Amino acid sequence: MLSYIVRRLGATIVVMAVVAFFVFSLLYLTPGDPAAVIAGDVASADDIARIRQSLGLDQPFLVRFGNWVWALFHGDLGTSIFNNLPVSKLISQRVEPTLSLTICTLIVAIVTSVPLGAIAAARAESKLDHAIMGFSVLGFSLPVFVLAYLLILLFSLQLQWLPVQGYRPISEGIWPWFRHLILPSLALGTVYAALIARITRASVLDVLSQDYIRTAQAKGLKERDIMIHHALKNAAVPIITIIGIGIGLLISGAVVTETVFAIPGIGRLTVDAILRRDYPIIQGVILIFSATYVIVNLLIDLSYIFFDPRIRY
């Protein structure tokens, strides 16, 4: 177990090093002079020279990369070109909305998808199974922004139950905070839940065909006890795996969702930075998202041993 953790940590460091190199290279893979692209068409030669100096473009590439990595080790993600503020400060100001949306989406997705997938497996080939799987296919095929606008149209404009856009910090109260997250969480959670439900059904259906399940049924155990204590427990590894893999879908979906609902999170910050070509912010956000994805999947891998004691590293 310890040796596996050490190997995975080593692999994680290598992956993050590759990601860091790629993220840093984004600025220099841009066609033309990055300083001229950032400055715009009406910029003077002095403006372009100032930007080149601020970005360190007048230095060799490896020197710039080494200085950037050294700054990363000290928690410095650079300085925004347009706001002239540290990128780490700008990201920290946007963490709460994104984290709130992510947690609510995970709760919505997991609480709905796992029971639906288990029910579909228990009632395989029934009308209920076809209805749940039809919902899963529709939910996964429907773009997040389309579902978001449909929810806004129904619950905000017609019924006027929920706000159209915006975000309230949790410090202003639990209900105002939660009220502004219901629609974004439903929009993003539906896509995520559809993926988990399909994998849950397939995994549970495979477990239900095993001999020990038939033995439990022959002993007269209740169907609910068989599903909870035997089927879901032994089907947990694929379900946990797809939850970890889906984090990437969740991150990309959060960018779109925050834009549609005008949530001032990291996703909205990313979109604004792309429109402005604020490369330091883009680099910092991509690096943080990549690190989050890698760490989450590392934790998912390590959790296998707790869900299935037969797994030995």
Residue 93's pLDDT is: 87
Last residue of a domain, one of 73, 106, 125: 73
Single out the residue in 73, 97, 127 at which a domain terminates: 73
Residue 252 placed within a domain: yes
Provide DSSP, the chain. -HHHHHHHHHHHHHHHHHHHHHHHHHHHHSSS-HHHHHH-TT--HHHHHHHHHHHTTTS-HHHHHHHHHHHHHTT---B-TTT-SBHHHHHHHHHHHHHHHHHHHHHHHHHHHHHHHHHHHHTTTSHHHHHHHHHHHHHHHS-HHHHHHHHIIIIIIIS--S-SS----GGG-HHHHHHTTHHHHHHHHHHHHHHHHHHHHHHHHHHHTSHHHHHHHHTT--HHHHIIIIIHHHTHHHHHHHHHHHHHHHHHHHHHHHHHTT--SHHHHHHHHHHHT-HHHHHHHHHHHHHHHHHHHHHHHHHHHHH-TT---
In the chain, the number of structural domains is 2
Q: What is the pLDDT of residue 10?
A: 79
**What pLDDT is stored for residue 237 in this prediction?**
82
Buried b / exposed e across 196-216, counting CB within 10 Å, b at 16+? bbbbbbbbbbebbeeeebeeb
The answer to the question of residue 149 being in a domain is yes
Residues 216 and 282 in one domain: yes
18, 101: one domain: no
> What's the confidence (pLDDT) of residue 28?
67
Q: Is 312 a member of any domain?
A: no
Tell me, yes or no, whether 250 and 289 share the same domain. yes
Residue 78 in domain: no
Question: What is the span of the domain harbouring residue 25?
Answer: 2-73
144-151 helix and 182-208 helix, angle to the nearest 10 degrees = 120
Regions of the chain where pLDDT drops below 50: none
Using one digit for the tens of pLDDT, what is the confidence trace for 214-250?
Answer: 787 787 777 777 777 777 777 888 888 888 887 777 8
Residues 25 and 103 in one domain: no
Q: In terms of domains, do 178 and 202 share one?
A: yes
Predicted pLDDT of residue 37: 66
Specify whether 37 is located in the same domain as 161: no
Whole-structure pTM value: 0.81
Q: Are 233 and 159 contained in the same domain?
A: yes
197 and 286, same domain (yes or no): yes
Q: Is 81 within a domain?
A: no
The domain that holds 160 is classified in CATH as 1.10.3720.10
Cα 107 to Cα 102, 174, 193, distances in angstroms: 9, 16, 10
Asked whether residue 115 is domain-assigned, the answer is yes
pLDDT value of position 40 = 67
